[in-house]
């Protein structure tokens, strides 16, 4: 098991990106800038099949993942990811069916108990398409083409292009995921406006990492905070290798450090983080 954190490249502390992606077949009522918003109230409406999202970073940039978050495509949706250094010659790095929060065909009757009780089942607003690059990409242009002949009109809430950070120290970790949010949390937009709707399950995970020494705990905390800096949101993959259960392991949200234990007399060196979905 390998845990990985992803930070959006446009929020890079040293080299932020101001360019906005362009979108074909986009409804004029939804600006393309909504693709880079982490407010659940913002989404880009697509009005036709085979729509392309093209993003010029302004200069070659490093990235390790591409994700479409909170899209309302059907179970049959497909996407193609292409990269380019000059905007005219493109290389396809992925094409295929997008991972889907419906763990089986939503029209099937053969659900498992876990699938039937997962609140994401049947929710068009909690679907993720995620590509984890096997090696770091370094290109100026990115193009994502999405197609869905079952639902030719759909929406995409977030285009997430991120840099990966994985712990390299001698750690082990355990995580627990809670789907029952009883706190009645209200969502707010970037400008602070309250979003008055209920029913969207808040997914949270507690990530506890245990280290061999106090120095490793402090070193990891420093490295993680230095890497993410002022990033507002993160994508966290709790198990990079477990692709069939990707949707159970992938959480897009905010990360907070909640507890650090350093007790040499008990050989206990650990730190706990909580990630809560946006």
CATH class for the domain made up of 4-165: mainly beta
Binned at pLDDT 50, 70 and 90, residue 172 comes out as: low
Find the helix or strand (DSSP H, E) in which 257 lies: strand 250-263
With CA atoms as reference, report the closest residue to 55 among 158, 195, 131, 171: 158
CB 164 within 8 A of CB 124: no
Q: Using the Cα atoms of residue 21, residue 161, residue 226 and residue 176 in order, give the sign of their dihedral.
A: positive
For residues 245 and 118, the model is more confident at: 245
Residue, of 192 and 26, whose pLDDT is higher: 26
Kind of pairing, strands 91-97 and 128-147?
unpaired
Res 216 pLDDT > 90? no
For the beta carbon of residue 76, count every other beta carbon within 10 angstroms: 15
The pLDDT of residue 92 is above 90 = yes
Yes or no: say if 97 and 130 are a contact pair by the CB < 8 Å rule: no
Q: 252 vs 10, 74, 87, CA distance in Å?
A: 16, 20, 29
pLDDT of residue 205: 80
Instruction: Provide the H-helix boundaries in 20-89.
Output: none
Question: Per the confidence metrics, is the pTM higher than 0.85?
Answer: no
Residue 120 has pLDDT above 80, yes or no: no
Which among 53, 63, 3 is positioned nearest to 25, based on CA atoms? Answer: 53
């Amino acid at each position: 098991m390998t845990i990985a954190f992803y930070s959006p490249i446009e929020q890079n502390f040293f080299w932020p990106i101001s360019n906005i992606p362009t979108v074909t077949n986009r409804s004029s009522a939804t600006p393309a800038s909504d693709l880079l918003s982490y407010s659940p109230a913002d989404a880009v409406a697509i009005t036709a099949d085979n729509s392309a999202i093209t993003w010029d970073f302004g200069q070659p940039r490093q990235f390790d993942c591409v994700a479409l978050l909170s899209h309302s495509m059907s179970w049959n949706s497909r996407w193609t990811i292409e990269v380019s250094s000059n905007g005219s010659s493109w290389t396809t790095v992925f094409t295929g069916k997008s991972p889907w929060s419906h763990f089986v065909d939503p029209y099937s009757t053969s659900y498992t108990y876990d699938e039937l009780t997962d609140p994401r089942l049947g929710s068009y607003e909690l679907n993720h398409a995620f590509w984890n690059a096997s090696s770091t990409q370094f290109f100026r242009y990115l193009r994502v083409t999405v197609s869905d002949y079952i639902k030719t009109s759909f929406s995409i809430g977030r285009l997430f292009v991120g840099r990966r950070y994985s712990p390299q120290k001698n750690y082990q970790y355990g995580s627990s995921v809670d789907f029952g949010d009883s706190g009645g949390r209200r969502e707010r937009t970037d400008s602070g406006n309250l979003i008055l709707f209920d029913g969207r399950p808040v997914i949270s995970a507690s990530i506890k990492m245990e280290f061999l020494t106090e120095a490793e705990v402090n070193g990891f905390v420093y490295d993680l905070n230095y890497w993410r800096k002022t990033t507002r949101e993160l994508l966290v993959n709790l198990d990079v290798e477990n692709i069939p259960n990707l949707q159970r392991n992938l959480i897009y949200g905010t990360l907070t450090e909640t507890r650090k234990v350093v007790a040499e007399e008990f050989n206990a060196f650990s730190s706990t983080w909580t990630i809560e979905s946006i």
